[in-house]
A and B are shown apart, each in its own frame.
Chain A
């Protein structure tokens, strides 16, 4: 079965700092990749997704992620974080042809003003 690893459980940044959250998955076949975000007190919502094509995908609120197949990675980036980006971020993988998503353990991001 596939697994998803998120490198950091907690990240603390100051506003305007750059962000990169690591995500690696274990499945060797074709996958779809997702980043979900959960703001305090809110439900999980999709930030961005990769299905095929350009490995650099752009999502909402200035986030982007790059799929590097050779490294089994799908790292999330943002050039300049804002206080409102404080949230928990989850990477998820789906094996092509299956509906179920497997999630990482999440990274809690705290942005100080």
Chain B
């Protein structure tokens, strides 16, 4: 069974530039999460989808961050414009609804210069 796939693995951009991350969850997993992991910290939820509906986006900084999951499968997280403080690892995870057992991708490490 293929795991959660994320791309790119690494991205270096200058501040004020846009960046996008892509995630393909495990087949059949209706719930998709984007988490942010800063250095030395645990993952923090940005947004959770149930199918194509964003059901928890209270922690997503909506002035510069956006996400979509148009067909209820893969998802894109965008930052525009990026700031220095956005340097972090962006994790995507998926699960069956209600199980709470998350399967994570390898993450996308963003460096903003």
Contact = CB atoms under 8 A, between A and B. Distances in A.
A54 B98 CA distance: 21
Interface of A is mostly: strand
Interface of B: 3-4, 31, 33, 40-45, 48, 50, 56, 91, 93, 95, 97-107
Given A44-B91, A106-B42, A99 B104 contact: no
Given A43-B3, A43-B106, A103 B100 contact: no
Contacts of B4: 43
Given A46-B101, A99-B31, A99-B98, 20 more contacts: A4-B42, A9-B40, A34-B100, A43-B3, A43-B106, A43-B107, A44-B93, A44-B102, A44-B104, A46-B103, A49-B100, A90-B42, A90-B43, A92-B42, A99-B48, A100-B33, A100-B56, A104-B42, A105-B42, A106-B42
Size band of the A side of the interface?
A: 20 to 34
Which 6 pairs of residues, A with B, have the shortest CB-CB distance?
A: A103-B42, A44-B104, A94-B100, A43-B106, A43-B104, A105-B42
A8 interface: no
Interface in A57-113: 90, 92, 94, 99-106
Most-contacted residue by chain B among A36, A42, A43 (CB, 10 A): A43
Contacts, number: 54
B41 A32 contact: no
A83 to B, nearest CB: 23
23 contacts: A9-B40, A34-B100, A34-B101, A42-B106, A43-B3, A43-B4, A43-B104, A43-B105, A44-B43, A44-B91, A44-B93, A45-B104, A49-B101, A94-B100, A99-B48, A99-B98, A99-B99, A100-B33, A100-B48, A101-B100, A103-B44, A105-B40, A106-B42
Contacts of A101: 45, 100, 102
